[in-house]
């Protein structure tokens, strides 16, 4: 199971390449050979970078959906729209394809945010705006999501 940690600020060059920060690269080291999948996020204007192992688990789950149900087929199509297989090159760079740069509104400065088993890639300004706007609601959200008495040992 992958548990990534940290939030990192970095820059993207004109070609859409970013240098993976060394602390994050160390965490990703066991996954570098298999590669990654980069896709549009469902709920936000950011990108999601899945280690291939995590992507395969998700695809196995999605493969169980009945494709003869229109909603399932529509979901699969929309979820996988713009999906790209990507690798970190020998210099530690990751290329973000132009269509995904456009979707996320990525300019020059970005934030790589660990989200348990994936990395979110945000335009820095959009990330800060999203974090700031959700601050007021976070206590209520935390109580609703994590306040369940059924969770073992989480406080």
Mind listing the domains of the chain with CATH numbers? 7-146 (3.40.1550.20)
For residue range 26-83, list pLDDT tens digits in order. Answer: 999 999 999 999 999 999 999 999 999 999 999 999 999 999 999 999 999 999 998 9
> Alpha-carbon dihedral of residues 13, 19, 21, 22, nearest 10 degrees?
-150
User: What is the per-residue pLDDT for 124?
Assistant: 97
Q: The pTM is what?
A: 0.88
Question: What are the tokens at 10?
Answer: 């970095």
* Of residues 2, 9, 36, the one with CA closest to residue 106: 9
The answer on pLDDT for 17 being more than 90 is yes
User: What is the per-residue pLDDT for 146?
Assistant: 84
Say which residue, 153 or 28, is predicted with more confidence.
28
User: What is the per-residue pLDDT for 135?
Assistant: 65
User: What is the per-residue pLDDT for 102?
Assistant: 95
The answer on pLDDT for 151 being more than 80 is no
For residue range 96-143, list pLDDT tens digits in order. Answer: 999 999 999 999 999 999 999 999 999 999 999 988 876 667 778 778
- In Å, how far are 40, 76, 77, 124 from 81, measured between CA atoms? 8, 8, 6, 24
- In Å, how far are 66, 152, 153 from 118, measured between CA atoms? 26, 23, 24
């Amino acid at each position: 199971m992958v548990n990534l940690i940290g939030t990192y600020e970095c820059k993207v060059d004109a070609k859409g390449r970013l240098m993976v920060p060394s602390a994050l690269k160390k965490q990703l080291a066991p996954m570098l050979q298999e590669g990654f999948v980069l896709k549009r996020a469902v709920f936000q204007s950011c990108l999601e970078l899945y280690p291939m192992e995590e992507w395969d688990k998700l695809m196995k789950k999605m493969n169980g959906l009945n494709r003869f149900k229109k909603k399932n087929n529509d979901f699969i199509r929309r979820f996988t729209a713009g999906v790209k297989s990507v690798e970190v090159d020998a210099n530690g760079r990751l290329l973000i394809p132009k269509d995904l740069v456009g979707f996320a509104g990525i300019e020059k400065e970005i934030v790589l945010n660990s989200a348990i088993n994936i990395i979110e890639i945000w335009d820095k300004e959009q990330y800060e705006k999203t974090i700031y706007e959700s601050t007021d609601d976070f206590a209520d959200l935390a109580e609703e999501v994590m306040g369940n008495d059924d969770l073992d040992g989480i406080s």
